[in-house]
Amino acid sequence: QVQLVESGGGLVQPGGSLRLSCAASRSIFSIYAMGWYRQAPGKQREFVASITHSGSTNYRDSVKGRFTISRDNAKNTVYLQMNSLKLEDTDVYYCNSTPPRVPWGQGTQVTVSS
């Protein structure tokens, strides 16, 4: 059974930092590139960042220089370090393969507010 479990979200002030974690089933983590996505209420889910097994990364323009994606292949875990957070980063964040191939997890809420 494929599982994706996101954690690490919370409430942070503008300019603050958060580190998200996603524990994935080995069946997906060992095969695919992994990514982070986010979704606001009433909007489509959007790509945030991805990372291949070899560590090649890709980011959406609005988070370049602020977010860093990484993965621990031994722990089947992918991370998203988010620095210099902005109000517009407020969303529910999800992980999945890149492109998404398995059912979505519950996500983790990130709220940036003063």
Q: How far apart are CA 91 and CA 38, in angstroms?
A: 6
Q: Can you name the residues that pair with 101 across neighbouring β-strands?
A: none
Of the pLDDT bands very low, low, confident and very high (cuts 50, 70, 90), residue 88 is: very high
CA-based Rg of the chain, rounded to a whole angstrom?
Answer: 13
| pLDDT of residue 11 exceeding 90 | yes
Write the single-letter amino acid at 77: T
24, exposed or middle or buried, with CB in 10 Å at 0-12, 13-18, 19+?
buried
Q: What is the pLDDT of residues 31-76, one digit of tens each?
A: 899 999 999 989 999 999 999 989 999 999 999 999 999 999 899 9
| pLDDT of residue 1 exceeding 80 | no
Whose structure tokens read 């998200």? 20
Write the single-letter amino acid at 61: D
Q: How far apart are CA 105 and CA 31, in angstroms?
A: 18
| DSSP-based three-state secondary structure for 10 | strand
| DSSP-based three-state secondary structure for 57 | strand
CA-to-CA dists, residue 90 to 9, 26, 73, angstroms: 10, 29, 28
